[in-house]
């Protein structure tokens, strides 16, 4: 039998620790520059590797822009240097690009997290993983927020 | 009684619609002979598994006329590739003789005269004949797969909440199905039907919206001809966007490419030797999916209503497009050895209703299903002097009629009719019956709204829909056509970016440009918003027809294509 998420919630041990205070308030309307500032703040100026171990899952088109599911995971042994310390999620086109920072410990077992976010309009969603060895991985997906309803 | 039509074509070679294997051109029957049922059913069995694909029937139990599009623009990597090839180019690409039965079935050129020659297509009892014939030949080697959009699109399906289609399909004993418009009957009704279905409703991309986890069975393993076949289901990814999400609040969709890949792997791990994706993605999305997910042997592709006489081959994957409205059934024989597809034989079988003998048992079933509604189905509303059809990227005459009705009956400045791809065609001289009208609008959210929108909002709607159709990345396409507009002209550049495709919006009544800041009265139908108010669209059109008993439409020149 597959264990589904509902059942898993009851069993879960090392779930991710949420750290919503990971971002400082940015200018009222985010743009590419504000997002860049937020990325630099998270990476300490290091440019993240674009390709790699990080997988960001978002819908191509949001069914409801008010609550868009987003999942992020990083292939990692979760020990020693191959250890994910934290993952930041940013929304390039929101008034404030910072959405959430997930922090992990070796007890987390796996670097994976799911949340929901509000997207004001069509934009890029960015996820960056900070590794224990000081490297960073990044993935970016466009999520379209549409009026909908005239197709089919 | 059934009258058999002679398919004599002076001077033109007739070819059977048969793919001759890997990328081969169509094989040809001898010239100047009548097309017979045997010509349509003839198929030299091949390999060990036969897949039969029926999709996008749109509840058409009776034979219909259905005009294929004359405009079907492809963008990005799909530009110029099938299915974005129409008319003469299509005929050349597949070596089809103009004026031949296949030309009639697959393109729109000379449609009216060819329709008068070759007659209606489809009909559930003819489809039954074809499927029973294949089953008799292939018995335990065959899988019958229903690609969805089966339950919606007719008066009787709406009245019976799809019960007529469920009973009809059950009589053919499909092995699995997936869906799209099925969901417009609402979650409760879908669940009720599913609970009683003698075969699985598959949809690996349908999630529980609250728990964000799979809500439907993703795949089923079958054994056919000694081969383990996995059939994965992929429902229409944008069902809650293109159709009312409030009717299915607990289900979330999406392409979910990673899940498709994971399910392919899981099925292979369970021993699947042949992996089939029963998909309602549409051909462009499936072409991209096939290029990114390995391990799928066959994608049976529905949704975009394309009928392609040969498979689209992407890497090692065959993408099969089987048309709509019962016009075609695909038979694909494959040979699987050592967990690998070694070869195939494909045929897009055209259901010429005057050539294929109806299956008597099925004729009786269809009559029984329709009997309670016969009087209303036959009720005559008007006569058309214009060919009425829907398909095409920008407009179709059936929607021109709908827009006229909305403008007049709802006293609006501008009318909007959704870019649906379903709806049968009517030839000049035909009576428009209640059944015919419903074939173009039978659905569960038919309210014809009347509201005020400013020019900026109207442009935003047009841009939004245009991007659903012409986004260069197929994963962002929703597979419908452009929203149809009445009372307003505009220019569209399909190749442009979102926000700059639409220009030159002009109010036809005054000839003045549409003012972004000015309010206009807009009438439309099929809003996905809950609580939309207005009479059902069929009442609006029926009222219009009562004042206009003879439909005569001018050519629609209000959409200009740029770029």
- Chain B residues whose CB is inside 8 A of the A122 CB are 498
Q: Same domain, yes or no, for B129 and B245?
A: yes
Contact of A115 with A33, CB cutoff 8 Å? no
Burial class of B451 by CB neighbour count within 10 A (0 to 12, 13 to 18, 19+) = middle
Task: Give mean pLDDT, residues A109-136.
Answer: 94
What pLDDT shows up at residue A52? 76
CA angle B530, B534, B538 (to 5 degrees): 110
Q: Same domain, yes or no, for B287 and B142?
A: yes
Contact of B150 with B167, CB cutoff 8 Å? no
What pLDDT shows up at residue B22? 30
The CATH number for B137's domain is 3.60.21.10
Contact B419 A55 (CB under 8 A): no
Pick among A59, A64, A117, A151 to test the B interface (most B CBs inside 10 A)? A151
What pLDDT shows up at residue A149? 53
Answer whether A146 touches B (CB < 8 Å). Answer: yes
Q: Same domain, yes or no, for B310 and B407?
A: no
What pLDDT shows up at residue A81? 86
Answer whether A67 touches B (CB < 8 Å). Answer: no
Element (H, E) at B456: helix B455-470
Please state the domain count of chain B: 2
Coil vs helix vs strand at B106: helix
Chains A, B: CB pairs < 8 Å: 94
What pLDDT shows up at residue A2? 47
Answer whether A152 touches B (CB < 8 Å). Answer: yes
CB-nearest partner of B468 from A5, A6, A151: A151
Burial class of B135 by CB neighbour count within 10 A (0 to 12, 13 to 18, 19+) = middle
Contact of B83 with B176, CB cutoff 8 Å? no
A146: nearest CA partner in chain B:
B464
Minimal CA separation from A45 to chain B, in Å? 32
Q: Which residues contact B46 (CB under 8 A, 6 or more apart)?
A: B333, B334, B335, B343, B344, B345
Contact A152 B469 (CB under 8 A): no
Q: Same domain, yes or no, for B340 and B417?
A: no
Element (H, E) at B349: strand B340-350
Pick among B466, B468, B480, B482 to test the A interface (most A CBs inside 10 A)? B468
pLDDT reading at A39 higher than 60: yes
User: What separation, in Å, do the N-terminal and C-terminal C-alpha atoms of chain B show?
Assistant: 52
Contact B242 A60 (CB under 8 A): no
Q: Same domain, yes or no, for B453 and B497?
A: yes
Domain boundary among B318, B342, B368: B368
Q: Same domain, yes or no, for B341 and B473?
A: no
A6: nearest CA partner in chain B:
B211
Q: Report helix angle B283-292 to B257-269, nearest 10.
A: 60
- Does residue B462 lie in a domain region? yes
- Chain A residues whose CB is inside 8 A of the B420 CB are 152
Give dist(CA B494, CA A3) in Å, integer: 46
Task: Give mean pLDDT, residues A4-30.
Answer: 45
What pLDDT shows up at residue A49? 84
B530: nearest CA partner in chain A:
A149
CB-nearest partner of B475 from A57, A60, A147: A60
Which neighbouring-strand residues pair with B312? B319
What does the domain layout of chain A look like in residue ranges? 15-143
Task: Give mean pLDDT, residues A128-151.
Answer: 86
CB-nearest partner of A146 from B416, B468, B526: B468
Two tokens, residue B187: 């979650």
Predicted structure pTM score? 0.91
ipTM of the complex in this document: 0.88
Two tokens, residue B119: 């007659």
- Does residue B10 lie in a domain region? no
Could you please state the CATH topology (level 3) that the domain comprising A15-143 is classified under: Immunoglobulin-like (2.60.40)
Coil vs helix vs strand at B263: helix
- Chain A residues whose CB is inside 8 A of the B467 CB are 144, 146
A4: nearest CA partner in chain B:
B213
The CATH number for B518's domain is 3.90.780.10
What pLDDT shows up at residue A151? 43
Q: Which residue has the tokens 């000049």?
A: B428
Q: Same domain, yes or no, for B90 and B162?
A: yes
Contact A152 B528 (CB under 8 A): no
Task: Give mean pLDDT, residues A44-57.
Answer: 87
- Does residue B23 lie in a domain region? no
- Does residue B22 lie in a domain region? no
Give dist(CA B122, CA A58) in Å, integer: 40
Q: Same domain, yes or no, for B206 and B76?
A: yes
Give dist(CA B136, CA B222) in Å, integer: 19
- Chain B residues whose CB is inside 8 A of the A142 CB are 476
Burial class of B353 by CB neighbour count within 10 A (0 to 12, 13 to 18, 19+) = buried
Beta strands (DSSP E) in B455-501 are 484-486, 488-492
- The CA R_g of chain B, rounded to the nearest whole Å, is 23
Give dist(CA A73, CA B96) in Å, integer: 51
- Chain B residues whose CB is inside 8 A of the A4 CB are 211, 213-214
What pLDDT shows up at residue A50? 75
pLDDT grade, residue A15 (50/70/90)?
Answer: very low
CB-nearest partner of B464 from A114, A142, A146: A146
* Greater pLDDT, A31 or A134: A134
Q: In A73-141, which ranges are continuous DSSP H helix? A: none
Q: Beta-carbon neighbour count of residue B195 at 10 Å?
A: 8
B417: nearest CA partner in chain A:
A150
Contact A150 B254 (CB under 8 A): no
Phi and psi torsions of A136, nearest 5°: -135, 145
What pLDDT shows up at residue B295? 98
Two tokens, residue B324: 């709509």
Contact of B42 with B345, CB cutoff 8 Å? no
Phi and psi torsions of A104, nearest 5°: -125, 155
Q: Same domain, yes or no, for B212 and B352?
A: yes
Answer whether A148 touches B (CB < 8 Å). Answer: yes
Task: Give mean pLDDT, residues A78-85.
Answer: 91
Minimal CA separation from A68 to chain B, in Å? 10
Mean pLDDT of each 10-residue bin along chain B, 563 residues long: 34 34 34 71 95 98 98 94 96 95 96 95 98 96 98 98 98 98 98 98 97 96 98 98 96 97 98 98 98 98 98 97 98 97 97 96 98 98 98 96 98 97 98 98 97 96 95 94 97 96 98 98 95 97 98 95 89
Of residues A114, A75, A1, A58, the one with CA closest to residue B476: A58
Q: Same domain, yes or no, for B190 and B323?
A: yes
CB-nearest partner of B528 from A55, A144, A148: A148
Domain boundary among B311, B344, B368: B368
Q: Same domain, yes or no, for B210 and B270?
A: yes
Least confident window among A35-44, A71-80, B1-10, B394-403: B1-10
Contact of B541 with B468, CB cutoff 8 Å? no
Q: Which residues 68-107 of A have a C-beta within 8 angstroms of B?
A: 69, 71
CB-nearest partner of A149 from B258, B476, B528: B528
CA–chain centroid gap for B86, Å, is 16
Domain boundary among B310, B339, B368: B368
Residues of B with CB under 8 A from a CB of A: 180-181, 209, 211-214, 236-238, 240-243, 245, 252-255, 258, 416, 418-421, 460-461, 464-465, 467-469, 473, 475-476, 478-481, 483, 498, 526-529
Minimal CA separation from B364 to chain A, in Å? 32
Contact B483 A63 (CB under 8 A): no
Of residues B188, B191, B219, the one with CA closest to residue B203: B219
Contact B461 A5 (CB under 8 A): no
Contact of B183 with B167, CB cutoff 8 Å? no
- Does residue B374 lie in a domain region? no
A115: nearest CA partner in chain B:
B212
For residue B113, the number of C-alpha atoms closer than 13 Å in the C-beta half-sphere is: 6
Q: Same domain, yes or no, for B362 and B504?
A: no
Domain that holds residue B198: 37-368
CA angle B356, B359, B363 (to 5 degrees): 115
CA distances from B424 to B2, B26, B60, B406, B437 (A): 21, 27, 9, 20, 9
């Amino acid at each position: 039998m597959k264990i589904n998420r509902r059942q898993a919630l009851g069993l879960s041990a090392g779930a991710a620790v949420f750290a919503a205070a990971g971002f400082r308030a940015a200018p009222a309307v985010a743009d590419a520059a504000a997002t860049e500032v937020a990325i630099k703040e998270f990476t300490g100026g290091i440019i993240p590797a674009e390709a790699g171990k990080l997988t960001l899952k978002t819908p191509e088109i949001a069914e409801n822009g008010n609550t868009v599911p987003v999942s992020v995971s990083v292939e990692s042994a979760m020990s020693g240097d191959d250890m994910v310390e934290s993952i930041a999620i940013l929304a390039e086109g929101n008034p404030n690009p910072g959405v959430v920072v997930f922090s992990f410990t070796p007890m987390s077992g796996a670097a994976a997290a799911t949340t929901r976010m509000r997207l004001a309009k069509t934009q890029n969603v960015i996820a960056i993983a900070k590794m224990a060895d000081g490297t960073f991985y990044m993935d970016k997906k466009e999520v379209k927020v549409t009026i909908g309803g005239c197709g089919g | 009684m059934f009258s058999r039509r002679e398919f004599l074509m002076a001077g033109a070679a007739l070819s059977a619609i048969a793919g001759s294997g890997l990328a081969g051109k169509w094989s040809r029957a001898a010239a100047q002979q009548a097309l017979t049922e045997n010509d349509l059913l003839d198929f030299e069995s091949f390999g060990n598994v036969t897949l039969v694909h029926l999709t996008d029937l749109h509840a058409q139990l009776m034979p219909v006329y259905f005009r294929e599009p004359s405009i079907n623009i492809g963008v990005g990597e799909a530009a110029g590739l099938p299915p974005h090839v129409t008319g003469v180019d299509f005929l050349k690409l597949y070596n089809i003789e103009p004026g031949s039965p296949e030309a009639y079935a697959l393109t729109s050129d000379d449609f009216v005269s060819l329709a008068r020659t070759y007659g209606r297509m489809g009909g559930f009892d003819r489809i039954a004949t074809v499927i029973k014939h294949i089953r008799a030949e292939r018995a335990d080697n065959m899988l019958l797969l229903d690609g969805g959009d089966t339950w919606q699109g007719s008066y009787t399906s709406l009245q019976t909440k799809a019960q007529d289609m469920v009973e009809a399909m059950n009589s053919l004993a499909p092995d699995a199905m997936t869906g799209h418009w099925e969901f417009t009957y609402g979650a409760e009704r879908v669940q009720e039907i599913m609970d009683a279905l003698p075969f699985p409703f598959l949809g690996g991309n349908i999630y529980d919206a609250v728990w964000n986890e799979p809500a439907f069975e993703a795949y089923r393993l079958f054994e056919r001809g000694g081969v383990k076949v996995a059939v994965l289901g992929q429902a229409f990814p944008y069902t809650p966007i293109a159709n009312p999400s409030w009717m299915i609040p607990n289900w979330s969709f999406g392409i979910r490419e990673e899940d498709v890949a994971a399910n392919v792997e899981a099925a292979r791990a369970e021993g699947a030797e042949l992996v089939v994706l029963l998909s309602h993605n549409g051909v462009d999305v499936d072409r991209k999916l096939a290029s990114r997910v390995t391990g799928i042997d066959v994608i049976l592709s529905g949704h975009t209503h394309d009928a392609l006489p040969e498979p689209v081959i992407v890497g090692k994957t065959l993408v099969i497009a089987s048309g709509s409205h019962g016009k075609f059934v695909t038979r694909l024989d494959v040979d699987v050895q050592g967990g690998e597809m070694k070869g195939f034989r494909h045929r897009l079988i055209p259901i010429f209703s005057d050539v294929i003998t109806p299956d008597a048992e099925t004729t009786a079933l269809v009559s029984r299903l329709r009997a309670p509604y016969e009087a209303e189905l036959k009720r005559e509303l008007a006569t058309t002097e214009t060919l009425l059809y829907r398909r095409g990227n920008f407009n179709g005459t059936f929607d021109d009629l709908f827009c006229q009705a909305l403008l007049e009956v709802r006293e609006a400045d501008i009318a909007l009719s959704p870019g649906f791809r379903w709806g049968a065609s009517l030839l000049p001289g035909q009576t428009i019956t209640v059944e015919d009208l419903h074939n173009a609008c039978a659905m569960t959210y038919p309210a014809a709204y009347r509201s005020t929108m400013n020019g900026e909002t109207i442009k935003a709607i047009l841009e939004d829909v245009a991007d659903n159709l012409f986004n260069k990345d197929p994963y962002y396409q929703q597979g419908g056509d452009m929203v149809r507009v009445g009372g307003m002209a505009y220019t569209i550049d399909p190749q442009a970016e979102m926000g700059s495709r639409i220009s030159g919006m002009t109010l036809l009544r005054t000839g003045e440009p549409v003012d972004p800041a000015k309010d206009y009265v807009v009438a439309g139908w099929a809003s996905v918003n809950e609580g939309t108010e207005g009479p059902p669209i069929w009442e609006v059109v029926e009222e219009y027809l009562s004042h206009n008993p003879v439909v005569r439409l001018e050519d629609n020149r209000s959409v200009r294509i740029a770029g």
